[in-house]
Structure 1
Amino acid sequence: MNNTQVTVFVLLQLWDSPVGQVVSIISFTLIYALTISGNLIIIIICRVERTLHTPMYFFLSHLAALEMCYISVTLPKMLHASVTGNSTISFVACLTQLYFFGSLGSTECFLLAIMAYDRFVAVCKPLHYHSVMTAKFCRILVSCCWSSGFISTMSSILLISTLQFCGPNHIQHFFCDITPLLRLSCTNVHKTETLIFLLASVILVGSCLVTLLSYFRILTSVLAIASGTGRRKASSTFASHLTVVTIYYSTMIFVYVRPTTSGVSSFNKILSVLYTILTPLLNPFIYTLRNNEAQLALLKTKDRALLLIKKSFLM
């Protein structure tokens, strides 16, 4: 594919001490299991319960599927390296991980913006909601999110694949990320760096502005018409949503919307843990499982499952 001399990279482990390795393995295994199970539950109840066949839960089910894929791009490899002590990754595998990480991250940015717009229409333009957010339009929006996320990342990966890596081969990160990978290149990365900066600026800042503006309009509308109890409930809901959105966008923008590759600090690695691991864990509980409709649907699904189990034993 190119004339690179380095064909294998070595990833950094988050903790060097044996005790830290054991703690990280247990903690991140538990986080991974909770993330996969929590998001899988959301997908199941959104498919099974007809009461959740609405645009909002349609988007939430796609967010859940995306989070399962997103955390699976980085965490299993990191856990495998911690358990086996083998932190090596081939150049092709590194580019593959980088491509899916960037594509899924871009898709999530687009999807969060679409979800915020959906809530804006529902709250601020309720009479037009069903005519605007039709099933066909929702499918088109979701298709655009996924396709745009995967297409937008392709150009960056193609440019990186043409770079030469002459050594050293130690990536100062626990996964193949753009900045620490470009620092290892022995060729001019200015063109690649500029393209990545522009793409990250458009995707992250653009979707962040749409998301925050939608939430701001929603909050001002709700506070203007709601009672005291309604205001407190709305403020609590939007505070939790904005907390997750702020953590995700602020960390991503800080790490990626920078014109140079200088200075990959330990602080960047800590921020990476927030948007690669903690955000996929929190999103199911913040966006879906706190909702009364989702909780009721979950209870109905559980009762149906128990009933089927009882019938299977009685047969």
Structure 2
Amino acid sequence: MDFRKQKLSIAEAKEMDMVNYLSLLGHEPSKIKGNDYWYRSPLRQEKTPSFKVNRKLNRWYDHGLGKGGNIIDFGIAYFSCSVGEFLNKLHGGFSFQKPLKNIPKIKNEPEHQLKILKEIELSSYALIRYLEQRKISIEIATHYCREVHYELNAKSYYGIGFKNDSGGFEIRNPYFKASSSPKDITTIKNGCDEVAVFEGFIDFLSFKCISRNELNKTPDFVILNSLSLFEKARPFLESHKSINLYLDNDAAGKKVAREALSNSKKYNDHSKLYQNHKDLNDWLVHIGKQQKKRLGNKL
């Protein structure tokens, strides 16, 4: 969901807090002395912490390797990628965990083995800050989401978890997106004859933030978690008198909307509300920026 046409600039990437970023990748400091955060090196195996991040300078140094630098230098070393690849993936929200190298794939084995370790109430500063940047109310987010800690490729991570009807999770943080099995839609039933449909949970949360003081009645909700699950959702959707679509303004979202409208008069396409934006959340963030700009002009 959280994709933009332009990648982050180098200057924007360098402003990202390295301690928060390492935390989201599953690396926590072993000790903290003033502005210095010491870690067991994420770049190699070691028992004694010799990887330091100076939070004031926002720079790192690995004493074992004799190398250091900014977050871009770290990303290039950690993911074995180019500057451009790191900026694209850092900004795009792709699944961005460190790959295992030179390990042959076992036939018929899934490419990623994601295991949920635990789920708790949303409390991570980095995750809450991410939601605030997306203009999502923390009160609304904590009602529908959990903080999910999970293991992938023998490393631990955590993110905002949104549960589907089969018990699997959609997982997001500022740097990647993932999901656990089984994959399914999420239905929220309020006993209404109207239903609102979203591709992902960030757009659903955006809708709740926008409409919390405006709706006369609360509709039912379907979060597809993948456009490929639209057909699976149809029986539930079409049991309602009115079906309101809030799909992405991309080719795939528009195609599904067109097909739905041709299938039944029950469907209503509401994407014109955010027609100049890629999705509902992008529109919400834009509104927030415009309001902040107008407020600044008045001061």
Which bracket does the TM-score occupy, shorter chain normalised? under 0.3
TM-score (norm 2): 0.27
TM-score (norm 1): 0.26
More helix by share: 1
Higher relative contact order (CA 8 A, sep 6+): 1
